Every structure is written in structure tokens, then in C-alpha cells.
């Protein structure tokens, strides 16, 4: 797979987990802030739209929405 395809896959996984929990970008920003991670709603939107975010950001988001398991299929 090309890098773009990997980015699209990771972006899709994160968006699906957010949707599954009915968490929007504003609420995600608030939850991240409570964890000491400073991200604005707009910044989160840009990162997820691009799909080019770090593994650290990905894990922080999953922690913020209390996601313990991620399905890759």
C-alpha cells in the first residue's frame, strides 16, 4: 500500500471509533484538554482530514474516547 492508502486507513479507523461513541471534534478537544493535551477543534479537524497525524495523537484520541480495542479488518 502507498502512504496515502495507509493514511486513509488510519483516518477511517479513528473516525469510525469517534462515530461509534458519538464523539465530535469539539468534545474530543475537551477530553484531550482534560488529559493535558492541548488541541483545538479546528486543529483536530485538520489533522484527521489530512490523515497525517502521529501515532501519539492517535493513541491520545483513543484514550480520550476510552477505546480499549481497535479492529483492523
Whether pLDDT at 73 is above 80: no
pTM of the model: 0.92
Alpha helices, DSSP H only, in 21-71? Answer: 25-34, 41-50, 55-64
Contacts of 4 (CB under 8 A, 6+ apart): 51
Please give the torsion angle defined by the CA atoms of residues 17, 23, 25 and 31, in that order, rounded to the nearest 10 degrees. -100
Question: Which pLDDT score is estimated for 71?
Answer: 86
Distance between CA 53 and CA 2 in Å, rounded?
16
Question: Which pLDDT score is estimated for 45?
Answer: 97
Averaged over 26-40, what is the pLDDT?
98
Amino acid at each position: 500500500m502507498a502512504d496515502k492508502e495507509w493514511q486513509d486507513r488510519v483516518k477511517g479507523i479513528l473516525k469510525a471509533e469517534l462515530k461509534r461513541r458519538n464523539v465530535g471534534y469539539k468534545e474530543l478537544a475537551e477530553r484531550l484538554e482534560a488529559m493535558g493535551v492541548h488541541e483545538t477543534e479546528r486543529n483536530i479537524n485538520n489533522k484527521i482530514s489530512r490523515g497525517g497525524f502521529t501515532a501519539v495523537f492517535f493513541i491520545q484520541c483513543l484514550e480520550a474516547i476510552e477505546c480499549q480495542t481497535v479492529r483492523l479488518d
